[in-house]
Structures are given as structure tokens and as C-alpha cells.
Amino acid sequence: MKRWMKGLVGTMAAVLMLAGCSDKKEPEKGEAATGSGDGYEEVTIRLAYNLPQDHHIAVGVENFAKEVKEKSDGKVNIQVFPAGQLLSDKDMNQSILSGGVEMGVNSSTLWASTVPAMGIFDVPYVFNDYAAVGEALNGDFGDKIRGAMEEKGAKVLMFADYGYVQFANNKRQLKSPEDFKGLKIRSIGDLPSELIQAYGASPVFMGGGEVYMALQRNTVDGATSGTTAMLQRKYDEVTKYLTVNNYAYLEFLLAVNKDFWDKLPEKTQELLTEVAGETEVWIREQAEIEDTESAKALEEKGMDVYVVPQEDLKEWKEAAAPVRDVFVENAGALGQELLDMVDEK
């Protein structure tokens, strides 16, 4: 899969005048225009994301935009704004819901503040392997989450697997929940903060771009993140210990403003859905590869890596039990239903 250009620039070309029609104005960003040929109507769609451009999700998203443009002979033009150029991760969701941007990629953790059921991916030890995630998202489990998002005004076009989340720190190797006591750990959201507290540490919420400096200055003792991000953000330079316990499986969502989506021609919707589905499969396959390779690379760069043995995970899960209660309290009946569906597997 080839990486597309860093960002599509420029505005949409004026629509060719049809015979017998009066002058027509060029559409605003995200507004469909009448076109001819191949059955597609011309449209420019803005898509924003915050991940580094060499992250496997970013590579997938860039190729998604490229494929859509090629398959529509340039009629459906997805203008990509990478690496926070247009919106921060904190501003992304509201912009999608309000129509400020047509498409955006953001984490399930941040979407949980709008759709509490999305916090299911942060509930500790819910998903045991990569295949289980794909199976759940392609069934009733995924449909219920998509439905909850649409009720809020966002259509989930694609689930993009980030991979498993781990812990890095400067103080000591974390071989049991007891080892967390007294540490300050950077958190990525509400439920991860609950887990950090359940393990006896103090959560500190901050954006990904702030973590390196915070670790370097000992503002925090450690952080939770995927090993792909740890490698790209050079955690090996500012932390010593990596604990691999696969406590959560982080998802990113390619979401579309629902009103905008509903106004798109059916043929365009079908194209976007088809290419998104193909991209979702590729990203899921890459997540497992990247998790393995990035953890190995961090070890090669000098980090002390400890993989929690399978037989010890029971202790970790029992200590994390209160987080499930918090999730159900926040997400209500739907949250409990999602947990039950996963537990049945």
C-alpha cells in the first residue's frame, strides 16, 4: 500500500455547465455538485486526523482517499489534513457533529465523552485477541455502536484498529498492580484513568504531543499508550520500563457528519463504504504486525520489556474490576449489553 501525498490542497474546480442550464455557482466545501460521466457527482470532502503520517492508520486513511479519487475518476475528492493541521483531537468530534468538517479520524476513547458506549474499548481485558475485535465489529456488537453514533449525528464509516495499549514508566518494572502505587501515569481518557487509580497510581490527562516533555521533566513517572506511538514519539529516550499486558484495544473511527452523508448520492455512498471496508481490513492486519514490531524495536533501543505471563493476568483483571462498574454506570443498558455480548464469546 503506497502512502498518498501529505495532504490534498486546493479547492474544487468549477462545475462544467450543462447544455441548456443557467450559470451555476461552485459548491462550498463538502457540498455536492451536479456532474456527469461515470455516474458520480463532483464533491470535495475534507478529512482531518491527528496521528503521525507514518502511523499505519494514517497510511490507511491516506490510501483510502487516494483510492476513492481514482475509482471515481477524480469526481469524489477527499482533501486530507494530516497530523493535526486542521483540528486537534480535542476539537475533532464537535467539528464533525456540527459539520465544521465532513470527515474526521479520532479515538474511541475521546468519542466516549459523546457516546458513552464507545468506552467499551477502554474496559480492561475485554478483547483477548485481534480476531475477536474484527468478529465483534462485523456483527451485532458493531451495529449497536454504529447506531449509537448515528443517533448523535455521526456515521461510522470505518473502525481503524490502533492496537493494544501498554504502560511505560521510569521508576520500576510493573510486574503486578501493586507496583503502580505512588506513580503518576499519563492517561488517555476517563476509563483509563479509572484503571490507573484502581491499580493505585495517579492519572494525569494530557495530549500525545505533551507526553515526551512531561516524562523528560518528571512531571509524570510514566504513560499509557500503544507501542506504535511510544516508538514514534521516542519514549525510549525518556522512559526505561515497558510493561506489556494488553489491557485495552484502542480503536480509531473514521466518522462522517450524518447530515452530510445523507445528502450524498447513493453511488458515492456505496463507493466510500466499499473502499472504507477494504481499508479497515488492511489496518486491522497491520495493527498486529505493528504492535509486535514496535515492542521489539523499543526493546532493541534499550527499554526493559516485561510481558505479563498469561497465568498472572487473573490478578490484573481482578484489580481492574471496578472499571467495569464505572463503564456500565456511564453507558447504561447499552453498555451492559455490549459487555454481555463480548463475555459470551
Q: pLDDT tens, 37-82?
A: 468 999 999 999 998 888 999 999 999 999 999 999 999 999 999 9
Is 26 inside any structural domain? no
The pLDDT, as a whole number, for residue 35 is 40
**Concatenated DSSP letters of 70-132:** HHTTTSEEEEEE-TTSS--HHHHHHHHHHTSSSEEEEEHHHHTTTSGGGGGGGSTT---SHHH
Residue 220: per-residue pLDDT: 98
Assess if residue 293 is contained within a domain.
Answer: yes
Tell me, yes or no, whether 326 lies in a domain: yes
Band (pLDDT 50/70/90 cuts) for residue 101 is: very high
The CATH number of the domain holding residue 211 is 3.40.190.170
Residue 38, domain member (yes or no): no
pLDDT tens string 280-313: 999 999 999 999 999 999 999 999 999 999 999 9
22 has a pLDDT exceeding 70: no
pLDDT for the residue numbered 209 = 79
* CA gap 321, 180 in Å, rounded: 16
d(CA 64, CA 254): 11
Whether residue 118 is predicted with pLDDT greater than 50 in this model: the reply is yes
Bridge partners (DSSP) listed for residue 106: 253
The pLDDT value given to residue 206:
85
Query: How does the average pLDDT of the chain come out, rounded?
Result: 89
Pairing type for strands 154-169 and 241-257 reads: antiparallel
Question: What is the per-residue pLDDT for 318?
Answer: 97
- Identify the helix (H) or strand (E) that includes residue 317: helix 313-319
Q: State the residue range of the domain holding 233.
A: 43-343
pLDDT at 11: 31
Is the pLDDT reported for residue 36 higher than 80? no
Structural domain includes residue 1: no
DSSP 8-state class, residue 27: P
23 within some domain: no
Per-residue pLDDT at 90:
86
Higher pLDDT, 260 or 53: 260
pTM to 2 decimal places? 0.84
Domain tally, the chain: 1
Given pLDDT bands bounded at 50, 70 and 90, which one contains residue 128? confident
Residue 226 lies in a domain: yes
Which pLDDT value is given to residue 10?
A: 37
The answer as to whether 29 is a domain residue is no
